[in-house]
C-alpha cells in the first residue's frame, strides 16, 4: 500500500467510512517484523506491553498508533495500553489479533435461508481463547458501508471497533477481548449513502429497561430442573389432554403502582399458587419480548430474543418458567412474526435499506398499526423468525407459541382498500410467501420439538389452518375459534327476552366446530377499548349479570375445544382491563365474584376428571345434539359421550330467567342420571333451583331417543347430568 493510499484509508477510518477497516488494523509482515496500527480515538498516548516490556509506537497520527514487533513474538499476548486525557490508563488485548470465525456450514445455511439456530452465532456470545476471553459480536447488514460495535467500553465512539465483513457475505463480526456479561452496546452502521445509524442487536439476549434502548451482553448460567415435565411433554398428545389456559399480561396482573412492575420472582410466588387454586394447567403470556411502548401490551416487539427487562433479567424469566413446569403448568408465549414497530433503533431500515421489511409500501406497512411488515420471502428474515421461535422453545422451554395476527400475513389485502395492495403472481390476494413461511415454521418446530404446539390467531375462514401440510394445510396444531367467541358474546349480550330471535347465533358454531382443531378464547381483545368486561357485557340486574357469566362459562366448558380465559374473567371483574393497573392486588371481590370463581373451578375439575371430554374436543363422533330447536324458550341441549366406555354427560342450557319445570328431553340411557353440576347452585350465588341431585329416565320416546327425563331447569342456568355404567 503506497503512502497516499494509506493516508486516505486512515482518513476514512477516522471518519468511520472505511469498508475494509479490519484489514487495515490487522498485522502485516514486513521482513522480520510485524507491524500493526491501533485506532484509539480517546487516547492521549499509547504503548504496548509484551513480556513485561514496554514498546512505544513507531508513529502517532491523530489517534492512530503504529507499532512494530519481531515476527516471532506471540501477538495475542500483547496488551494495548493507552491513557486518556484525564490520566486514566486502560490495558486490553487487541481485537484485531483475533480474526472473527464463522463456520462454513453456518455461513452457508444462513445465506441459503435454512439457518434455524442462527441465534447461536449471530448476536453477542462469550468466547474463550487461551490468552483471554471476551465477546464475539456478529450482525447481518449487507447494505452497510461499515459497521462498528459501540458501548461504554469505547465511549460510544462510532468506528472505535470496526467489524469485518466475512467473505463479503454481509455478515459483520468482531471479537472484543476483556469484556463479559452486562455490557451495554449497539451497532453503529454507516449506510451506503453516508447516514450514520445506531441500532440495537436483532439477536440480543438482553436489553436495557425502557426508555433506554441498548442491547446487553448476557452470559447464561441458568440450571433447569424441569426434566420430568420435558420428558412428559415429549410423549404427550395434546389433542386428547385437557387444556385450560389462563391468558395473562405480566405487567398488569400483579402491580403495586403505575410505575413499578413486579419482578419475575414476585410473579412466580403469587402466580403459581393462584393457577393451581383455580385449576388452570396452562398459562399464556402476552408478548414478553422486549417492546418500547407499554400501551402495545407487548405486541410491537423490537427485541425478539430478549424477555422484557420490566420484570428483571432473562434468568428470572427462566426461573419462572422452570417453577411453572415443576408445578405441572405449561407455558405458551404470544409471538408476533407479522409486524414490528418503526422505532429508529429497531429492525426497520436496519442498514439503510429495507432489510427486514417489504420494500414495497403496499406490502411493507401495516395500516392498522402503523408498523413495518416482515418480508417473509427473504432468506435472512426466515432465518431470523424461525430461529426465534426455536429459541423460545429450546432456550426458555416454552411449550407452545400463539402466533398473533396470522390473517394479516395470509392476505395481501388485509385492511387495505382497492389500490392499496397488489395481487400475487396468480392474481389472487393470498400471500404465497406467508403460506410457505408458516409451513416451514410448523414443519421445523414439530420435527425438532415433539410435544410443542403452535396456535394460530386466524380470524377468517382460511381453510386448513390446522390441517397437515401434506394435505395442503398450514400445519398449525390449534386455531383460536374467533367465530365462536364473537357469536357467543353477542348472544349473551342480548336481553333474554330477545334471545329466542337469535338461537342460530349460539348454535351456529357447532356446525363447524370440528372443521379445525379449535381453542375457545375469551381473550384480552374482548375486554378493552370500551368493549367492557365479561361482566359488563351481560344484560340485567346484578344477579342476572353474574348468572349469565356462570352460564357463559358453563357453555364454554361444555363446547368441544380447548379452553382459554383472560385474567380477571375468572371472577368476573367488574371493569374492563386497564394495562396500567394491577389486577390481583387491586381487585375488589364480593360473594357473587367468589361464586363465579367456584363455578370455574368446578367446571375445570369436571373437564379434568372426565377425560373423554378432552378426548372429544376435536372428535365430532363424541358429540350429539339432543335439541337445538326450542327457540321460544331459548333452551338447547346436547350430549358429550365417551367412545371408549358407556359414559355420558348431558348438558342443558336455559338462557332465560324463567324457571322451566317438567321440561322433557331425550337421553341415551335409562335409569338414574346424576346432576353433577348446576350453575344456579346457591354455592355459586344462584337461587338453588334444581333436581335434588338426580333424575330417573323413563321409557318414553323423545328427541329420537327411546328414553327421556323430566327436569326442572333453573333460571339462566346450566345443568350437567351424568350417566355411567
404 is catalytic: yes
CA dihedral angle for residue 274, residue 275, residue 279, residue 284, rounded to 10 degrees: 150
CA distances from 61 to 38, 366, 612 (A): 11, 50, 80
Instruction: Spell out the residues 6+ positions from residue 718 whose beta carbon is closer than 8 angstroms to its own.
Output: 550, 551, 554, 555, 558, 651, 652, 653, 654, 677, 678, 679
Q: 421 and 412 in contact (C-beta within 8 Å)?
A: yes
Of 438, 381, 445, the C-alpha closest to 408 is 438
Number of Cβ within a 10 Å radius of residue 72: 8
- Residue 31 gets the label, from left (phi > 0), alpha (psi -120 to 50) or beta, of left
Number of Cβ within a 10 Å radius of residue 425: 6
Q: Of the residues 183, 284, 404, 487, which is catalytic?
A: 404
Q: 412 and 430 in contact (C-beta within 8 Å)?
A: yes
Q: 301 and 290 in contact (C-beta within 8 Å)?
A: yes
Q: 63 and 40 in contact (C-beta within 8 Å)?
A: yes
d(CA 24, CA 14): 12
CA distances from 724 to 167, 550, 648, 670, 698 (A): 71, 26, 6, 11, 16
722 is catalytic: no
- Contacts of residues 345-348 at CB distance under 8 Å and 24 or more positions apart, as own/partner, are 345/186, 345/198, 345/199, 345/200, 345/213, 345/302, 346/199, 346/200, 346/302, 346/303, 347/202, 347/302, 347/372, 348/372
Q: Which helix (H) or strand (E) is 3 found in, with range?
A: helix 3-14
* Antiparallel, parallel or unpaired: β 647-654 and 635-642: antiparallel
Q: Of the residues 201, 457, 675, 680, which is catalytic?
A: 457
Secondary structure (DSSP) of 74-96 = -GGG-EEEEE-TTS-EEEEE-GG
d(CA 59, CA 203): 39
CA dihedral angle for residue 174, residue 180, residue 183, residue 188, rounded to 10 degrees: 0
List residues with catalytic annotation: 404, 457
Amino acid at each position: 500500500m503506497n503512502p497516499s493510499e494509506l493516508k486516505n484509508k486512515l482518513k476514512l477510518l477516522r471518519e468511520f467510512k472505511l469498508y475494509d477497516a479490519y484489514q487495515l488494523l490487522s498485522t502485516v509482515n514486513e521482513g522480520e517484523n510485524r507491524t500493526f496500527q491501533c485506532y484509539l480515538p480517546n487516547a492521549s498516548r499509547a504503548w504496548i506491553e509484551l513480556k513485561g516490556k514496554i514498546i512505544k509506537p513507531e508513529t502517532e497520527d491523530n489517534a492512530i498508533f503504529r507499532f512494530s514487533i519481531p515476527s516471532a513474538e506471540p501477538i495475542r499476548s500483547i496488551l494495548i495500553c493507552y491513557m486518556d486525557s484525564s490520566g486514566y490508563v486502560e490495558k486490553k488485548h487487541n481485537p484485531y489479533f483475533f480474526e472473527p470465525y464463522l463456520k462454513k456450514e453456518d455461513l452457508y445455511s444462513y445465506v441459503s435461508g435454512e439457518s434455524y439456530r442462527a441465534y447461536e452465532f449471530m448476536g453477542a456470545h462469550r468466547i474463550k481463547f487461551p490468552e483471554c476471553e471476551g465477546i464475539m459480536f456478529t450482525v447481518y447488514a449487507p447494505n452497510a458501508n461499515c459497521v462498528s460495535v459501540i458501548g461504554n467500553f469505547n465511549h460510544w465512539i462510532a468506528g472505535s471497533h470496526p467489524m469485518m465483513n466475512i467473505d463479503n457475505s454481509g455478515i459483520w463480526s468482531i471479537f472484543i477481548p476483556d469484556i463479559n456479561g452486562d455490557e451495554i452496546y449497539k451497532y453503529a452502521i454507516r449506510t451506503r449513502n453516508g447516514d450514520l445509524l445506531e441500532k440495537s442487536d436483532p439477536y440480543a439476549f438482553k436489553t436495557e429497561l425502557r426508555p433506554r434502548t441498548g442491547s446487553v451482553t448476557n452470559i447464561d448460567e441458568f440450571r433447569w430442573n424441569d426434566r420430568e415435565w420435558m420428558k412428559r411433554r415429549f410423549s404427550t398428545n395434546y389433542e386428547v389432554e385437557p387444556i385450560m389456559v389462563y391468558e395473562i399480561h405480566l405487567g398488569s396482573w400483579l402491580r403495586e403502582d403505575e410505575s413499578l412492575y413486579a419482578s419475575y420472582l414476585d410473579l412466580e410466588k403469587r402466580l403459581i399458587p393462584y393457577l393451581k387454586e383455580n385449576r388452570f394447567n396452562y398459562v399464556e403470556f402476552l408478548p414478553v419480548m422486549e417492546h418500547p411502548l407499554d400501551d402495545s401490551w407487548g405486541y410491537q416487539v423490537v427485541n425478539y430474543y430478549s424477555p422484557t427487562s420490566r420484570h428483571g433479567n432473562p434468568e428470572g424469566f427462566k426461573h419462572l418458567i422452570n417453577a411453572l413446569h415443576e408445578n405441572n403448568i405449561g407455558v405458551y408465549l404470544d409471538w408476533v412474526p407479522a409486524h414490528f414497530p418503526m422505532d429508529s433503533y429497531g429492525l426497520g431500515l436496519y442498514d439503510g435499506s429495507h432489510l427486514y421489511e417489504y420494500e414495497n409500501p403496499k406490502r411493507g406497512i401495516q395500516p392498522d398499526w402503523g408498523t413495518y411488515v416482515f418480508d417473509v420471502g427473504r432468506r435472512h428474515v426466515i432465518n431470523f423468525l424461525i430461529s426465534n421461535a426455536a429459541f423460545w422453545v429450546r432456550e426458555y422451554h416454552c411449550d407452545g407459541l400463539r402466533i398473533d395476527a396470522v390473517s394479516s400475513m395470509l392476505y395481501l389485502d388485509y385492511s387495505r382498500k382497492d389500490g392499496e395492495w397488489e395481487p400475487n403472481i396468480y392474481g389472487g390476494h393470498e400471500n404465497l410467501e406467508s403460506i410457505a413461511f408458516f409451513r416451514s415454521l410448523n414443519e421445523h418446530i414439530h420435527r425438532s420439538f415433539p410435544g410443542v404446539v403452535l396456535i394460530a390467531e386466524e380470524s377468517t375462514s382460511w381453510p386448513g389452518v390446522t390441517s397437515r401440510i401434506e394435505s395442503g394445510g398450514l400445519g398449525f396444531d390449534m386455531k383460536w375459534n374467533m367465530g365462536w367467541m364473537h357469536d357467543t358474546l353477542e348472544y349473551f349480550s342480548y336481553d333474554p327476552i330477545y334471545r329466542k330471535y337469535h338461537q342460530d347465533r349460539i348454535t351456529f358454531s357447532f356446525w363447524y366446530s370440528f372443521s379445525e382443531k379449535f381453542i375457545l378464547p375469551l381473550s384480552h381483545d374482548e375486554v378493552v377499548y370500551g368493549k367492557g368486561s365479561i361482566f359488563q357485557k351481560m344484560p340485567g340486574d346484578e344477579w342476572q349479570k353474574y348468572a349469565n357469566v356462570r352460564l357463559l362459562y358453563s357453555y364454554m366448558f361444555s363446547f368441544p375445544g380447548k379452553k382459554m380465559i383472560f385474567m380477571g374473567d375468572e371472577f368476573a371483574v367488574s371493569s374492563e382491563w386497564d394495562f396500567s393497573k394491577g389486577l390481583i392486588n387491586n381487585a375488589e371481590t364480593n360473594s357473587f365474584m367468589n361464586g363465579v370463581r367456584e363455578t370455574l373451578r368446578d367446571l375445570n375439575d369436571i373437564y379434568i376428571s372426565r377425560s373423554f371430554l378432552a378426548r372429544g374436543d376435536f372428535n365430532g363422533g363424541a358429540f350429539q345434539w339432543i335439541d337445538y330447536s326450542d327457540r321460544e324458550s331459548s333452551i338447547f341441549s346436547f350430549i358429550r359421550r365417551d367412545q371408549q366406555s358407556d359414559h355420558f354427560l348431558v348438558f342443558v342450557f336455559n338462557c332465560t330467567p324463567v324457571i322451566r319445570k317438567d321440561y322433557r328431553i331425550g337421553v341415551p340411557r335409562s335409569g338414574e342420571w346424576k346432576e353433577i353440576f348446576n350453575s344456579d347452585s346457591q354455592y355459586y350465588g344462584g337461587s338453588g333451583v334444581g333436581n335434588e341431585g338426580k333424575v330417573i329416565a323413563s321409557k318414553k320416546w323423545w328427541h329420537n331417543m327411546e328414553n327421556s327425563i323430566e327436569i326442572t331447569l333453573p333460571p339462566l342456568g346450566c345443568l350437567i347430568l351424568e350417566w355411567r355404567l
